[in-house]
């Protein structure tokens, strides 16, 4: 299984999960031209053949119909998301139920509902003994999230804002309340609290969906690094249009690094 974060943040989200013949695009917040650019930056000469959208917000869902049509790729959403947004497109989406694992080729995907101001899910990906889990856009860590992440090699979790920066920042009051509320986004401190209890087996932690207004990479990294001080995991940060690649090929060597370094962060993850 190979995971590549192609974009992360309120400017658009996209991640590619590759397992066998499955090339699953997770979230469709980028228009085709930008997605192609990011795939090229990641040196991925692949065509997504399935799309899953976590929730109805534009930075995750806006281009779902366009990408699904273009790639002729089925779109997977929860029933709650299907009801909360006009997805468009000619084909009906495939509906998954939170907590009921479903297969996309050899990849098993399991969704868990998390609190946000639109019906939202955390997604777990399992393939051939390797697993990774993603949780962004959640106002607080719900009971059961740690169990949902249990045994994962890689954990991708939002570290959206710094509490002080949000309070002192330029957002209008209602937006500050929304972002910082129980159905908004995780602060660095909330994420750090979650990471302090993280399973020792996790090898890579990726901080996701950082706010460009109410956070800095330094603050997010410092809070998570302190929480993981005694943890062996490698800590990575996904930036809005950076590329972060993680690999987990059981029993085989790390894929060779690309000849020329990509423009932004590229990190490899392997046993
Ligand atoms: Zn978002
Ligand atoms: Zn959202």
pLDDT digits 0-9 by tens, 32-62? 999 999 999 999 999 999 999 999 999 999 9
Q: Which tokens is 260 given?
A: 């020329």
- Domain membership flag for residue 260: no
Q: Is the pLDDT of residue 263 over 80?
A: no
- Domain membership flag for residue 181: yes
- Domain membership flag for residue 271: no
Strands 75-78, 94-96: pairing kind: parallel
pLDDT number for residue 89: 75
Whole-number Å distance, alpha carbon 157 to ligand 2 midpoint, is: 13
Q: Which tokens is 8 given?
A: 């992360």
> 3-class SS at 3?
strand
Ligand nearest to the CA of 56: 2
- Domain membership flag for residue 104: yes
Q: Is the pLDDT of residue 155 over 80?
A: yes
Smallest CA-to-CA distance from 141 within 191, 78, 198, 196 is with: 191
Q: Is the pLDDT of residue 266 over 70?
A: no
What is the spatial distance between Cα 242 and Cα 92, in angstroms, rounded to a whole number? 32
Ligand nearest to the CA of 183: 2
Q: What are residue 149's phi and psi, to 5 degrees?
A: -90, 0
- Reported as a pLDDT band with limits 50, 70 and 90, residue 102 is very high
Whole-number Å distance, alpha carbon 269 to ligand 1 midpoint, is: 25
Ligand nearest to the CA of 118: 2
Smallest CA-to-CA distance from 156 within 200, 117, 203 is with: 203
- Domain membership flag for residue 261: no
- Domain membership flag for residue 206: yes
pLDDT number for residue 197: 95
Whole-number Å distance, alpha carbon 182 to ligand 1 midpoint, is: 15
DSSP assignment of 205-234: EEEE---SSS--HHHHHHHHHHHTTT---E
Ligand nearest to the CA of 211: 1
Q: What are residue 229's phi and psi, to 5 degrees?
A: -50, -40
> For position 51, which CATH number holds?
3.60.15.10
- Domain membership flag for residue 264: no
Domain boundaries, position 203: 2-247
- Domain membership flag for residue 60: yes
Please compute, for residue 253, the number of CA atoms within 13 A of its CA located in the half-sphere on the CB side. Answer: 3
pLDDT number for residue 25: 98
Q: pLDDT tens-digit profile of 108-123? A: 999 999 999 999 999 9
Ligand nearest to the CA of 210: 1
Q: Which residues does 19 contact at the CB level (< 8 Å), separation at least 6?
A: 1, 2, 105, 106, 107, 125, 127, 128
Whole-number Å distance, alpha carbon 135 to ligand 1 midpoint, is: 10
> Which residue intervals of the chain are DSSP H helices?
32-41, 58-61, 64-71, 79-84, 145-148, 163-168, 173-180, 188-196, 217-227
Whole-number Å distance, alpha carbon 218 to ligand 1 midpoint, is: 20
Mean of pLDDT over the chain: 91
pTM of the model: 0.91
When divided into structural domains, the chain yields a total of 1
Whole-number Å distance, alpha carbon 262 to ligand 1 midpoint, is: 25
What is the spatial distance between Cα 200 and Cα 139, in angstroms, rounded to a whole number? 25
| Sheet of 120-127, strands arranged across | 102-104, 107-114, 120-127, 130-135, 154-158, 204-208, 234-237
Ligand nearest to the CA of 158: 1
**Taken in order 209, 38, 266, 105, is the CA torsion positive or negative?**
positive
């Amino acid at each position: 299984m190979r995971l590549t974060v192609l974009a992360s943040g309120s400017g658009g989200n996209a991640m590619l999960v590759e397992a066998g013949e499955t090339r699953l695009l997770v979230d469709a917040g980028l228009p085709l031209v930008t997605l192609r650019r990011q795939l090229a930056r990641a040196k991925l000469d692949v065509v997504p053949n399935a799309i899953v959208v976590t929730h109805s917000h534009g930075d995750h869902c806006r281009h779902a119909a366009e990408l699904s049509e273009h790639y002729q790729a089925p779109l997977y959403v929860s029933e709650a998301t299907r009801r909360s947004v006009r997805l468009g497109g000619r084909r009906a989406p495939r509906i998954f139920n939170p907590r009921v694992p479903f297969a996309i080729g050899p990849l098993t995907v399991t969704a868990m509902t998390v609190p946000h101001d639109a019906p939202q899910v955390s997604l777990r990906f399992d393939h051939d003994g390797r697993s990774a889990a993603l949780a962004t856009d959640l106002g607080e860590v719900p009971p059961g999230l740690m169990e949902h992440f249990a045994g994962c090699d890689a954990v991708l979790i939002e570290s959206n804002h710094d509490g002080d920066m949000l309070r002192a920042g330029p957002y209008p009051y209602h937006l500050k309340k929304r972002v910082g509320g129980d159905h908004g986004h995780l602060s660095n401190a909330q994420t750090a609290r979650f990471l302090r209890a993280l399973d020792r087996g996790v090898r890579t932690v990726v901080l996701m969906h950082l706010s460009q207004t109410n956070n800095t990479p330094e603050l997010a990294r410092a809070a998570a690094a302190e929480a993981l001080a005694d943890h062996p995991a490698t800590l990575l940060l996904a930036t809005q249009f950076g590329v972060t690649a993680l690999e987990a090929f059981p029993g085989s060597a790390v894929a060779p690094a690309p000849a020329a370094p990509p423009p932004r962060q590229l990190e490899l993850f392997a046993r």
